[in-house]
Amino acid sequence: MSARFDSVLRWYLWVLMGGLLVQGLGSLMFRLAPALPAAAPYLVRGALGIDRWHAWIHIVWGTAGVVLLAVQPTLRAAARLALVFGVFYTALGLLGVIVYHPLGLELDWFENAFHLTAGPLTLLLGLVAARRMATKRALAA
């Protein structure tokens, strides 16, 4: 199994999960301190302008992902995280396109585009990792 692929997958997941955590926490700060958005640049307001429940989804995923990557630094753990996250975010993106503000979440075009990019990409990376691990096991048997 390529150590390079393992490294790329783990790097990608660290950036994604860390980014979700930071974005979710920033969004909650914006909700708790209404003066912050007014003082922030437009790009920051846009990146941190998600609703409270959506922010919590990012915080939960980000925290769980970062903890998992830190506690279980294996390709198997990274692949499982990528598969589960990829399925969840792809489903969330599809739901956001099909249903207007599903589950009370304010999912508009930007959020749906992010979910339909990050979800399938992460799912694909998880599938490649799972396939590579299965191939390696088959060759070792």
Q: Mean pLDDT in each 10-residue stretch from start to end of the chain (141 residues)?
A: 86 98 91 77 69 93 98 96 98 96 90 96 97 89 77
What's the predicted TM-score (pTM) here?
0.89
Structural domain containing residue 111? 3-140
Quick one: pLDDT at residue 140?
86
Q: Per the structure, how many domains does the chain have? A: 1
What CA–CA distance (Å, rounded) separates 57 from 25? Answer: 10
Task: List Cα–Cα distances, 80 to 54, 91, 115, 117, 130, in angstroms.
Answer: 23, 17, 18, 18, 8
Quick one: pLDDT at residue 32?
84
